[in-house]
A and B are shown apart, each in its own frame.
Chain A
């Protein structure tokens, strides 16, 4: 007996689905199909806060992720840092993840040095930004950072004494920061910054997290987290706002998250189509068997 379409779909090899997903992701990347995003309120609040802070404000940029979640979080780290540089804030990079040091290096290299390292008022290491590097101890490191930075680390990542850096003048602890921005890929991350820095010491905190983490983070918004940027969509929203405010950054080459919006959109469309198709097959099978 010739198999029907339903029989063929029932025994569909999963490799066809893998192939469809590969095309859904690869084609928009190859064809450079990007996408803008309409800003959501949690993202807009962080953007507005960085925008409103007076130039020279101190911002602790906690980069807590590794290559696992870099696809989602690296674009938002770049966007946050770019925005801080545009507003001439002082940036203090730090991480609680041993594997995140190169993530900080990439952010500094691609944004601070490449885009703001030259010109009339270049961003200078030690004066406008510093890399405090990796702080071991997870939540204890946050606690130390919040009470006395020098107890957590007396030198920067290059081995220079913190007291010799002009950017560290008058900075005793994280309480001297006007804002903590955390790109969080898991533990320790945004939740721990809320529990051990922001809430006990009343330090304004905003976070960027992966899409999967967002449900765990939203209960802290808007009281303990003043802003929340979630996943590649959130990063895309941030880049869209940055592009609208600063047209020199509206070009797609400066917007990795917006470029990833296209593949994400097509992958989601495929997922929806697969769910609908799977349920169509399920209903057809029930009809064939005669069960309601």
Chain B
């Protein structure tokens, strides 16, 4: 029963969403299903938050390896949720609601939540992203070597695309005649980059996308028909 009911709900809602796409009178049903999805997703978010707390409290309690990181995670989670919900540092924005301290937005500029976002979250994630430049440069020097024919092809393509992405691509047309009709001069590297993108990259991407889409259709049908119940957890 505990497995059958979720499978039936998933099948009914799933087929409703498919049929509503082709049968317009079913639109209102689809909209109701979407509203329900939003509500269920919100409840799932609460469940996720609770699960996060239980998991990390367990790690701290057992003194598992790296339990200190769990303590930092929990503290960060609690502080962020706390200052967001309590609107710490938020002031009323409208003259009509001056008596209502909580009438401002939770992410209002100057508030504690805004401060955390601006001076903790934002620099941390931007730094993580920026570090890529250093590691990619190191990898380019140490690992990107023409050890065989395939690596050489990859290397030459990468160099063409790399130059083609910068203004330096225009240098390659310096010694070529300028068209008399005023149009852009022929830029060998830029045109080659465009050719690689349009021909090889887009063709490859389309093949991957069509393959993935067919896989999604097959998997979705298996789920809707109740043949694949792995999303319910357990061994099924």
Residues of A within 8 A of B (CB): 12, 14, 17-18, 20-22, 25, 35-38, 66-71, 99, 101-102, 105, 136-137, 140-141, 143-144, 147-148, 151, 157-159, 200, 211, 215-216, 218-219, 231, 233, 261, 264-265, 267-272, 274-275, 277-279, 282
- State in angstroms the CA–CA spacing of A271 and B155 once bound together: 12
Q: Which residues of B contact A267 (CB under 8 A)?
A: 133, 137
What residues of chain B lie closer than 8 Å to A200, measured between beta carbons? 21
- Chain A residue with Cβ nearest B158: A275
Q: Which residues of A lie under 8 Å from residue B147 when comparing CB positions? A: 282
Q: Give min CB distance, B46 to chain A, whole Å.
A: 13
23 contacts between A and B (CB under 8 A): A14-B138, A35-B167, A36-B167, A67-B122, A67-B126, A68-B125, A102-B107, A140-B37, A140-B38, A147-B27, A158-B93, A158-B105, A200-B21, A215-B205, A218-B201, A218-B205, A265-B168, A268-B163, A274-B137, A275-B144, A279-B146, A282-B145, A282-B147
Set B34, B105, B114, B141: member contacting A157, Cβ < 8 A: B105
- B172 beta carbon closer than 8 Å to chain A: no
- Across the interface, B41 reaches (CB within 8 A) one of A70, A136, A216, namely A136
A25 to B31, CA, bound (A): 49
Contact status of A18 and B137, CB under 8 A, knowing A38-B170, A137-B38: yes
**Minimum Cβ distance to chain A for residue B200 (Å):** 10
Asked if B195 CB lies within 8 Å of chain A CBs, one says no
User: Could you tell me the distance in whole angstroms from the C-beta of A117 to the nearest C-beta in chain B?
Assistant: 16
Is A66 touching B41 in the complex (CB atoms < 8 A)? no
B17 to nearest A CB, angstroms? 9
B73 within 8 A of A: no
Bound complex: CA A233 to CA B163 (Å): 12
Inter-chain contact A211/B165, CB cutoff 8 Å: yes
- Most chain B CB inside 10 Å of its own CB: which residue of A211, A219, A277: A219
In the complex, the answer to whether B145 meets A147 with C-beta atoms within 8 Å is no
Judge if B63 is at the interface, Cβ distance under 8 Å: no
Which of B109, B163, B184, B201 makes the CB contact (< 8 A) with A272? B163
Given A22-B134, A140-B37, A271-B136, 6 other A-B residues pairs in contact with their CB atoms under 8 A: A68-B126, A200-B21, A211-B165, A216-B209, A268-B165, A268-B168
Selected from B41, B93, B201, the residue in CB contact (under 8 A) with A137 is: B41
Of residues 83 through 129 on chain B, the ones whose CB sits less than 8 Å from some CB of chain A are 93-94, 103, 105, 107, 109, 114, 117-118, 121-123, 125-126, 128-129
B3 contacts the other chain (CB 8 A): no
Task: Tell me the bound Cα distance from A95 to B205 in angstroms.
Answer: 27
Contact A140 B34 (CB under 8 A): yes
B8 close to chain A: CB less than 8 A: no
Expressed in whole angstroms, the Cα–Cα distance for A69 and B123 within the complex equals 12
Q: Are B137 and A271 in contact (CB under 8 A)?
A: yes
Q: Which residues in B have their C-beta under 8 angstroms from that of A137?
A: 34, 37-38, 41
Residues 25-40 of B contacting A (Cβ, < 8 Å)? 27, 30-31, 34-35, 37-38
Question: Is the pair B201, A215 in contact by a Cβ cutoff of 8 Å?
Answer: yes
Chain A to chain B: the 9 pairs with minimum beta-carbon distance, closest first = A67-B122, A274-B141, A282-B145, A278-B141, A21-B137, A68-B125, A268-B166, A14-B138, A137-B38
Per DSSP, chain A at the interface is helix
| A268-B34 in contact (CB<8A) | no
Contact status B146-A18, CB under 8 Å:
no
Cβ distance A199 to chain B, nearest Cβ, rounded Å: 11
Q: How far is the CA of A67 from the CA of B167 in the complex (A)?
A: 26
On B, residues with C-beta under 8 Å from A are: 21, 27, 30-31, 34-35, 37-38, 41-42, 93-94, 103, 105, 107, 109, 114, 117-118, 121-123, 125-126, 128-130, 133-134, 136-138, 140-142, 144-147, 155, 158-159, 162-163, 165-168, 170, 184, 197-198, 201-202, 205-206, 209
Q: Which residue of B lies closest to A286 (CB)?
A: B147
Within the complex, the shortest CB–CB distance from A140 to chain B, in Å, comes to 5
Chain B residues, CB < 8 A from A216: 205, 209
Chain B minimum-CB-distance residue to A20: B137
Q: Is A151 a contact partner of B35 (Cβ separation < 8 A)?
A: yes
> A144, B31: Cβ atoms under 8 Å?
yes
- Determine the distance from Cα of A272 to Cα of B164 in the docked complex, in whole angstroms: 12
- Return chain A residues, CB-CB under 8 Å to B158: 275
Q: Which of A18, A151, A158, A277 contacts B138 (CB 8 A)?
A: A18
Known A102-B117, A151-B35, A215-B201: A271·B167 in contact at CB below 8 Å: no
Do residues A279 and B145 form an inter-chain contact, with CB atoms below 8 A? yes
Structural contact, B184 and A38, CB atoms closer than 8 A? yes
